[in-house]
């Protein structure tokens, strides 16, 4: 328990406190950030809330309507780090999941991106209208219908161009956003009523993607040029990786792994790159990952063995980091012009992405590549799907201006 507490403190950005606890207790720990303790606590709280909760309500098209009681049973976390592709032991496909919409919120322009906080308690959305919204996940899931029961707890205005990406600090009290206005802005969510950023970074390029280090000490940034930028959060000093093995086109997405040991980037040049999280050197380059088409998204699995990519060849692909080989391909959706952002469910059992050829979310079994389900519910293309890190729920961002929250039934 002490080791889990120390690793959770590091994940929340309290490295100094974690070291004090380790020194005081004599606990042997690798001092690697981990959110497992928060996940277990959240799971227990959700089970307790479920046993004593009232009926929930959904916020459908225009009116609040009663929803049937939430019967979701959160999966066991015992296999949380166990995603493995074994060609000699091909698993049977899992049954198609069923989800129900619990809530939506509407921007004044297409909803482009979303993110959950590491503990799953908050979510945020970003829009083409340059605004961001911060949402209380518990209120989205357990609507009471009371006048004061509004899941949107903050609307933020400080960008002057579409919001490209957003990332929560590990402690959940700071939200970072980036934009086509060539800036990264940091919002203090602990200060009530504040709608403007308390700090910002100005770049010479449009900023496409950002990612907080699990310690909270650094922010990765990917822009319309080919260089990876790393900012020290305290000093805002910018570091670039001095290497010749870099991208040759703009970076579309950049993401740290769960421990920060690695980070990955995708690019307009059609390649993927995996980087050492300590010295920022490229440890694996996958050229023409999607047949030369641009790669719109990349994310690293929890066990840091694989990366999931999305490309404008209308496929998602899972790659083994150690070998650089593709281990699974997911087909059944269209992607030609939109920079679609896929996700994996919290237990990595399913892969989800929007479909440029419809208004559906397409869902595959991660290990088998079987497409068991198309999930309808939007009125226009879904650009981004993001899964909760702690339970079986997800948010969608659509060109119909809405972000929708779904839970598994």
Q: What is the DSSP letter of 243?
A: -
Neighbours of 104 (CB within 10 A): 24
Residue with the larger pLDDT of the pair 237 and 53: 237
**Above 60 in pLDDT, residue 109?**
yes
Give the alpha-carbon dihedral of 383, 144, 138, 390, to 10 degrees: -80
What is the b/e burial string over 134-158, where b = at least 16 CB atoms within 10 angstroms of the residue's CB? Answer: bbbbebbbbbeeeeeeebbebebeb
* pLDDT tens track for 66-106: 333 333 333 333 344 579 998 778 788 888 899 999 999 99
CA 342 to CA 347: how far, in whole Å? 15
CA 141 to CA 144: how far, in whole Å? 10
Check residue 50 and give its pLDDT: 40
**Above 70 in pLDDT, residue 16?**
no
**What is 131-178 written as a DSSP string?**
EEEEEEHHHHHS----TT--SEEEEEE--SS-EEEEEE-TTSSEEEEE
Tokens, residue 338: 């939109």
Q: Report yes or no: 189 and 174 within 8 Å, Cβ to Cβ.
A: yes
CA 217 to CA 233: how far, in whole Å? 5
Residue in 199, 164, 198 with CA at minimum distance from that of residue 181: 164
What integer is the mean pLDDT of 192-198?
Answer: 92
What integer is the mean pLDDT of 309-327?
Answer: 98
CATH architecture of 58-408: 7 Propeller (2.130)
Q: For tokens 């959110």, name the residue.
A: 35
Neighbours of 26 (CB within 10 A): 7
Indicate if the alpha-carbon torsion angle 36, 37, 40, 45 is positive or negative.
Answer: negative
**Above 60 in pLDDT, residue 376?**
yes
pTM over 0.85: no
Q: Report yes or no: 241 and 273 within 8 Å, Cβ to Cβ.
A: no
The CA radius of gyration of the chain, in Å to the nearest whole number, is 20
Residue in 217, 223, 173, 162 with CA at minimum distance from that of residue 198: 173
CA 255 to CA 309: how far, in whole Å? 12
Residue in 70, 78, 183, 83 with CA at minimum distance from that of residue 137: 70
Q: Percentage of residues in the chain with pLDDT exceeding 90?
A: 73
Spell out the domain ranges in the chain: 2-48, 58-408
* pLDDT tens track for 155-188: 999 999 999 999 999 999 999 999 999 999 999 9
CA distances from 334 to 97, 168, 272, 367, 383 (A): 21, 30, 20, 21, 12
Check residue 14 and give its pLDDT: 61
The 3-state DSSP class for residue 205 equals coil
- In the chain, count H helices and then E strands: 4, 30
Name the pLDDT band for 38 (thresholds 50, 70, 90).
low
């Amino acid at each position: 328990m002490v080791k889990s507490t120390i690793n959770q403190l590091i994940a929340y950005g309290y490295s100094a406190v974690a070291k004090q606890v380790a020194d005081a207790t004599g606990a042997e720990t690798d001092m690697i950030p981990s959110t497992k303790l928060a996940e277990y606590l959240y799971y227990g709280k959700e089970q307790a809330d479920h046993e004593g909760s009232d009926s929930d309500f959904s916020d459908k098209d225009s009116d609040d309507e009663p929803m049937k009681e939430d019967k979701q049973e959160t999966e066991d976390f015992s296999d949380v780090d166990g995603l493995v592709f074994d060609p000699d032991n091909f698993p049977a496909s899992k049954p198609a999941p069923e989800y129900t919409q619990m809530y939506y919120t509407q921007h004044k322009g297409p909803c482009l991106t979303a993110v959950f906080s590491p503990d799953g308690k908050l979510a945020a959305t970003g829009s083409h209208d340059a605004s961001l919204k911060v949402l209380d996940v518990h209120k989205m899931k357990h609507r009471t219908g009371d006048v004061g029961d509004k899941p949107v707890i903050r609307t933020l205005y400080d960008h002057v161009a579409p919001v490209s990406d957003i990332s929560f600090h590990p402690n959940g009290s700071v939200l970072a956003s980036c934009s086509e206005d060539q800036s990264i802005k940091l919002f203090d969510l602990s200060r009530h009523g504040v709608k403007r950023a308390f700090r910002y970074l100005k770049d010479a390029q449009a900023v496409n993607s950002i990612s907080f280090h699990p310690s909270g000490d650094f922010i990765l940034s990917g822009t319309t040029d080919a260089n990876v930028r790393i900012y020290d959060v305290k000093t805002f000093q910018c570091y670039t990786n001095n290497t010749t093995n870099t991208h040759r086109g703009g970076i579309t997405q950049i993401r740290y792994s769960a421990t920060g040991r690695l980070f990955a980037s995708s690019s307009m040049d059609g390649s993927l790159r995996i980087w050492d999280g300590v010295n920022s050197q490229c440890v694996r380059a996958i050229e023409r990952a999607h047949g030369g088409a641009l790669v719109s998204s990349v994310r690293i699995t929890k066990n840091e063995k694989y990366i999931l990519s999305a490309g404008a060849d209308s496929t998602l692909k899972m790659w083994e980091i150690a070998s650089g080989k593709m281990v699974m391909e997911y087909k059944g959706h269209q992607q030609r012009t939109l920079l679609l952002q896929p996700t994996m469910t919290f237990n990595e059992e399913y892969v989800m992405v929007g479909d440029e050829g419809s208004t559906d979310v397409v869902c595959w079994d991660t290990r088998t590549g079987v497409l068991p389900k198309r999930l309808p519910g939007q009125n226009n293309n879904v650009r981004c799907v993001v899964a909760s890190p702690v339970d079986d729920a997800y948010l969608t961002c659509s060109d119909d201006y809405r972000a929708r929250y779904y839970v598994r039934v």
